[in-house]
Structure 1
Amino acid sequence: MSSTTMAAEQSQLSPNVEIRSRGSNVGCIGAGMIMSDVHLEAYRQAAFPVVAIASRTEAKAREVAARYDIPTVHSTPEDLIDDAAVEILDIAYPPDQQPALIRRALAAPHIKAVLAQKPLALDLDEAVALRDEAAAAGKILSVNQNMRYDQSIRVLHQLLERGELGEPVLATIEMRAIPHWQGFLENYDRLTLANMSVHHLDALRFLFGEPTEIMTVAREDPRTSFEHEDGIVVSTLRFPNNLLAVSMEDVWSGPREEGFDSDIYIKWRVEGTRGVAQGTIGWPTGEPSTLTYASALTTGGEWVTPEWETHWFPHAFIGVMEQVQYAVETGTDPELSVADNVKTMALIEAGYRSIAEHRPVFLNEFNL
């Protein structure tokens, strides 16, 4: 294939979303790092109208409001939900407290949509209940599975859709990085699978469709001081076409004491019958994610590396809010719908069942 043809092929790849709508007022609940440094920075760059903010600590909410010129600060999340100026509610709150806020928003006539954090709830039953309650209320409920908008994952999805890799055979996501576990996680009986693997398992669903089974094994992480079961987690998924996928969350990643030169990364790789793609997720290092691929069909077997300057944090979050804005404007389902997210929650639930029962768990064991 000529260099001109390959350049044309690459020009059709879209690592970042097109902003189709930004007409609905956003109210934000939460003022921690993910809201203050990521959500709101993305919304600032995209010119999404944020009209109000609230958090558990009003002083913190006021500090963040001043930083982003948000006009209204409410003393409680409930007061913000009752604010008639808010049309889209964006929640960055612990999953044990999130369902009550969602339910209050579903009952508020002026709120058209809710963007919830993942995990949506602490277990599958609660997630299913929220899905059904949103449908009964006729409201949009979307879940912030932001890895789908990571630039490398978006481009990989496009390559798979175009058939450039042929039939997928094997996929892996390998994470060796140390997350900052929020303090509220110490009170839960679920850790890495629910709060970190959820990114990768959802991305695998986005890329390849619905798996038929999952086998998950886990052990404690030596660095995490509070009691937990699922520290280091490895999950193997099988898909209907016999594709195998492995997701590994190594939150230990080796000693990190002073003087120890350890490395951190998230890598992924997809091997198909006609091509291979591999890349990195830039979140642990603060760099853009990367992708390189070779296709017997479109690159003559040569490795091609598209480039972009945007990052998962914060730029992927533009896409997350944009798909809610567009759903409100058009009256259509959001791309990150709660109905879709319940399937990710079922995969998480199946992973925990697999850990407990030491066996592969089939997804048809769950009645969704």
Structure 2
Amino acid sequence: MSAARGFVPDPPVRVKEYKIGCIGAGMIMAECHLAAYRQAGFPVVAIASRTQQRAEAVAARWEIPAVHATPSALIADANVDIIDIAFPPDQQPALIREALAQPHIKAILAQKPLALTLDEAKALRDEAASAGKILSVNQNMRYDQSMRVLKQILDRGELGTVVVGTIEMRAIPHWQDFLEDYDRLTLANMSVHHLDVLRFLFGDPDAITTVARPDPRTKFAHTDGITVSTLTFPNGVLALSMEDVWTGPREEDFDSDIYIKWRVEGTQGVAQGTIGWPNGSPSTLSYASKRATDGKWVTPAWDTMWFPHAFIGVMEQLQYALKSGEVPALSVADNVRTVALVEAGYRSIAEARTVRLSEISVD
């Protein structure tokens, strides 16, 4: 049905010639990046991680020919064109800078959050520009199939003028151990998906109000466990992003009803759906439009999923930017604006007020 209505839930693979070196061998690399790259035919030529043993195990699973003892050794490998980083954000900037200094490295794919502070993110943006290298940030929710089809519906004007949009998450993330050492939790590491995709759908907001409380399940000290952010946009759109990482006492064998739901309402139609990540299923979308469906609900379908298939699009847009000379779809300059939105959310929590994005400099 997606094809029948002209929707493209997964972008085509236009370029797959650049050799990738992967830094990191944890779940996101082993289960998502490398699974996607195998399916797309992207050449992965080397891997390194914090422990060589872990890197060797992942290399054997995915038939990666070279294992380096350290990330620095991988970055120095002249056979690598693109560095793909899946490392803690406090360690990521140093790796990016090492890669920018190597003449043979053509581009870098970084994880989000790009850095722990907005100032660091801006510095990395500027250093990449000075080096003449592409730095892209893995905001993979923009390649979730429901989000891409929703964006196509919005761009066609099939919902009319957007009035309100919501993302409601009731799911339990696996917090990596390194997060215990940071003073920021959900907003920087989970809400960043939703805040970024709201920018993708509606443009840059002009204000954000975020409230938060600790999550009873998360044992280490934190402030932003459960978060709710409302955003206003210059075009009048009101949006809400809620991250309920508690969802109830699941340790006591409660029946699961975890989910991520979204809904967008316009003057000419409504779209709603789910993100399949918490349950390991494809995301969904249904919409009804006075302009396009005579007010009847239509449900485009696809077999691919956010994890791992979105990671094909993320790496492909970087390879295409290298080949074509065009700005990558996930450019670091654009991502700095997402980091600024997260920063504004934290300021809103700290000062218990609405924060205008004009207060946060991205220059």
TM range (shorter): over 0.9
Paired residue type of 1:209: G
Report the more deviating stretch, 347-356 or 257-266: 257-266
Paired residue type of 1:117: Q
Paired residue type of 1:359: R
What is the match of residue 174 of structure 1? 168
CA contact (8 A) 2:2 2:300 kept: no
Alignment of 1:201 with 2:195, yes or no, is yes
Structure 2 Cα separation of the partners of residues 254 and 140 of structure 1: 43
What is the match of residue 151 of structure 2? 157
Task: Give the TM-score, by structure 1 length.
Answer: 0.97
**Closer/same/farther in 2, CA of residues 8 and 194 from structure 1, 3 Å limit:** closer
Match of 2:324 among 306, 330, 342: 330
Return the offset for 1:257: 2.4
Deviation by residue 1:134-180 (Cα, 9 ceiling, x = unmatched): 00000000000000000000000000000000000000000000000
Q: Please give the secondary structure, in 2, of the residue aligned with 1:164.
A: coil
Deviation by residue 1:18-65 (Cα, 9 ceiling, x = unmatched): 000001000000000000011000000000000000000000000000
Structure 2 Cα separation of the partners of residues 211 and 146 of structure 1: 20
Alignment of 1:184 with 2:184, yes or no, is no
Alignment of 1:347 with 2:337, yes or no, is no
Deviation by residue 1:303-337 (Cα, 9 ceiling, x = unmatched): 00000000000000000000011011112211000
CA contact (8 A) 2:209 2:230 kept: yes
What 5-or-longer segments of structure 1 have no aligned partner?
1-6
What 5-or-longer segments of structure 2 have no aligned partner?
none
Structure 2 Cα separation of the partners of residues 263 and 10 of structure 1: 32
Alignment of 1:120 with 2:114, yes or no, is yes
Return the offset for 1:11: 3.2
Alignment of 1:313 with 2:304, yes or no, is no
**Closer/same/farther in 2, CA of residues 228 and 304 from structure 1, 3 Å limit:** same
**Pairing of 1:3-14 with structure 2 (within 5 A):** 10-14=4-8
**Pairing of 1:76-115 with structure 2 (within 5 A):** 76-115=70-109
Structure 1 Cα separation of the partners of residues 347 and 327 of structure 2: 31
What is the match of residue 67 of structure 2? 73
Return the offset for 1:258: 3.2
Structure 1 Cα separation of the partners of residues 251 and 28 of structure 2: 26
Deviation by residue 1:195-251 (Cα, 9 ceiling, x = unmatched): 000000000000000000000000000000000000000000000011100000000
Alignment of 1:255 with 2:249, yes or no, is yes
Alignment of 1:273 with 2:305, yes or no, is no
What is the match of residue 137 of structure 2? 143
**Closer/same/farther in 2, CA of residues 9 and 315 from structure 1, 3 Å limit:** closer
Structure 1 Cα separation of the partners of residues 2 and 76 of structure 2: 50
Return the offset for 1:9: 7.9
Query: Stretches of 4+ moved more than 6 A in 1?
Result: none
Match of 2:33 among 33, 39, 59: 39
Paired residue type of 2:106: K
Identity %: 72
CA contact (8 A) 1:215 1:235 kept: yes
Paired residue type of 1:245: A
Structure 1 Cα separation of the partners of residues 216 and 268 of structure 2: 41
Structure 2 Cα separation of the partners of residues 69 and 262 of structure 1: 36
CA contact (8 A) 1:213 1:238 kept: yes
Report the more deviating stretch, 273-282 or 256-265: 256-265
What is the match of residue 350 of structure 2? 356
Q: Over aligned residue pairs, what C-alpha RMSD do you find?
A: 0.9
Deviation by residue 1:78-134 (Cα, 9 ceiling, x = unmatched): 000000010000000000000000000001000000000000000101000000000
Paired residue type of 1:259: D
CA contact (8 A) 1:254 1:262 kept: no
**Closer/same/farther in 2, CA of residues 257 and 308 from structure 1, 3 Å limit:** same
Paired residue type of 2:56: R
Q: Please give the secondary structure, in 2, of the residue aligned with 1:314.
A: coil
Task: Give the TM-score, by structure 2 length.
Answer: 0.99
CA contact (8 A) 2:2 2:302 kept: no
